[in-house]
Chain A
């Protein structure tokens, strides 16, 4: 009951934040110089006052700004994000097309980063100042500081071009057709289709870009886990657990890990937010048809509706992730639930 109430509160906060973000994006579009009519309509349409008038009426541009704001919010609530100038398709459709690709890659990358980051962090903390600790710390520093576009190129060169051990760019090998869309995740959709080989192929395509993307976040997670684990291991309650005669493994996993994970969760959440919004370089190098590529193309074409759509999506990512992280805090830490 207490937990449900806590989750409910978080969801209400999320809704309020969403409206706030939409408002800020609206204000920004009004502050940016440029006329939406000239930006969105073609030269031919612009010469026809009827079309211009119809367009203005449709988007409420003939009304005062405050009324426009309510139109904008109304359109958002109807999930109408406008039409892309570049592709002439609804922005929502475009996002629906490219978002699953980004999400699949981001989730894969964050799983790799979280599993190895937490594992390395724990080992590093428990074997403090040992050779293993030094190696793990070196790896995490390299992971954090290596530029992803360079790493991506090197990895492609070595594993795809030289060793031929991994598939190259794209989501699937060219001899496979995309599986019928259910979730938009090729791996899951291939499984639903019952095609194990296609699943394997989609998974293999995830590995190189996924690991490149995971490197940075993994470095952060490793370092955060290590330092939190060290802090927690020297607390009084760990001494109590040891005084109780709990074996080392139980002390680490039952008593320490949960407490040490609380700040790590934030890092994982922020990492996922970064991945969902900012993979422009890696998506471009791996020809990954995701949000990053779409954002890049939209910016190049000054495609305002698309840019607004991507901005809202990225903001939404962070908000949803933060809400999930907040809820998870509450699941792990009873003190948070009370607040």
Chain B
């Protein structure tokens, strides 16, 4: 809450591409209003890889849809806050103006490659579409560029795949098509919403390698949204951990792995399987993410927290800033 976006970036001379300031998003449902995102702020520098971690229902996906202007309205609504892209507030733009940014300056790949491609259009034409829309290319020109993009994202025999339909491709291949589509106009920001969740483990690693390679070669910023700290370990300079729409911890990636402060973060990191000599059970976080319409007094994590005290139940903890590290917990030091 006292977060000053100007201070955290590693390189002070560079201007941030994206600044999210005190963003609040509500969903008006039949059961009541849900605060899907509650005061989210962060900045994204050119070439930076920002991770946002949380379970389903933490608000992480909604935060990315907010940037794209794709929150379904109704029921969703950006209640307050700003999303500054090169200083322009995206929340103030009309749908038409957003269409010039979506897919051109900011692109997004989604969790479900199986359902995220149009089943009745060929893969090639779906990739070429962005180029026709934003670069004003002719269809033929766009298709040959699509072919190059398919090669770039590592699709074997792209000439054949171009003319194929999504159902003829494997899941990993479809995600590569999604990535090629997102890359078509060389965006400044690539938002990846759980890009590997629906894929096999070996394919996951390939897709993450590809995203990292593109980040390094093209210098585009990556916003990696995931529930999996394993993915964050692969791709992230800085990490934000979200729970019930609030930021509970924020730190550079190496710091958070070495010294997680929030019990929720510890739980998420502890649940990554790893290969070590001693065998043991994976840690798990007890319970479930609370029903979003449920009102919880105090810290929203206390019902699942092994360290919860009377204080946690009564009052929402403040955000404590410890240098590069921020945590929103009453007992961060002791736990």
Contact = CB atoms under 8 A, between A and B. Distances in A.
B249 interface: no
Contact of A244 (B95, B120, B167, B181): B181
B33 interface: no
Contact of B118 (A243, A245, A259): A259
B101 to A, nearest CB: 7
Given A237-B118, A245-B130, A245-B134, A334 B165 contact: yes
Interface string B63-107: 000001010100000000000000000000001101111111001
Contact of B100 (A240, A242, A245, A332): A245
Contacts of B121: 255
A236 B120 contact: no
A239 B110 contact: yes
A243 B103 contact: yes
Given A239-B70, A242-B102, A247-B96, A333 B119 contact: yes
A241 B119 CA distance: 12
Scoring A245, A247, A335 by chain B CB atoms within 10 A of each residue's CB, the highest score goes to A245
A74 interface: no
Nearest to B95: A248
A245 B119 contact: no
Contacts of B130: 244-245
Contacts of B108: 243
Interface in B10-61: none
A242 B178 CA distance: 13
**A234, A237, A241 interface centre (most CB from chain B within 10 Å):** A237
Contacts of A258: 120
Interface string B273-297: 0000000000000000000000000
Given A245-B102, A332-B120, A236 B165 contact: no
Contacts of B100: 245
Contacts of A246: 99, 103, 129, 133
Contacts of B116: 236-237, 239-240
Contacts of A237: 115-119
Interface string B124-135: 000001100110
Nearest to A244: B103
A236 B112 contact: yes
A259 to B, nearest CB: 6
Given A236-B110, A258-B120, A333-B119, A242 B165 contact: no
B119 A335 contact: yes
Interface in A27-55: none
A243 B102 contact: yes
Contacts of B167: 334-335, 338
A146 B120 CA distance: 37
Interface residues of A, number: 23
B70 A243 contact: yes
Contact of B119 (A234, A239, A243, A334): A334
Greatest chain B CB density within 10 A among A243, A247, A258 is at: A243
Interface in B143-187: 165, 167-168, 178, 181
Contacts of A243: 68, 70, 102-103, 107-108, 110
Nearest to A239: B70
A235 interface: yes
A242 B71 CA distance: 11
B117 A240 contact: yes
Interface string A104-135: 00000000000000000000000000000000
Interface in A302-335: 332-335
Nearest to A334: B165
A244 B129 CA distance: 8
B254 to A, nearest CB: 32
A239 B121 CA distance: 15
Interface string B196-240: 000000000000000000000000000000000000000000000
A99 to B, nearest CB: 35
Given A236-B115, A239-B110, A244-B181, A334 B120 contact: yes
Given A236-B110, A240-B178, A247 B118 contact: no
A244, A248, A250, A334: which has the most chain B beta carbons within 10 Å? A244
Contacts of B110: 236, 239-240, 243
A247 B134 CA distance: 11
Contacts of B98: 245
B43 to A, nearest CB: 22
Q: Report which residue of B108, B110, B118, B178 has the largest number of chain A beta carbons within 10 angstroms of its beta carbon.
A: B118
A255 B116 CA distance: 12
A246 B178 CA distance: 15
B99 A333 contact: no
A54 B110 CA distance: 77
Contacts of A247: 96, 99
Contacts of A332: 120
A258 to B, nearest CB: 5
A264 to B, nearest CB: 14
**Central interface residue in B98, B102, B120, by most chain A CB within 10 Å:** B120
A265 to B, nearest CB: 13
Given A245-B99, A245-B133, A335-B167, A240 B104 contact: no
B233 to A, nearest CB: 27
Given A245-B102, A334-B119, 9 more contacts: A237-B115, A237-B117, A245-B104, A245-B130, A245-B133, A246-B103, A246-B129, A255-B118, A258-B120
Interface of B: 68, 70, 72, 95-96, 98-104, 107-108, 110, 112, 115-121, 129-130, 133-134, 165, 167-168, 178, 181
10 contacts: A235-B115, A236-B115, A241-B118, A243-B108, A244-B103, A245-B133, A247-B99, A250-B133, A259-B119, A259-B120
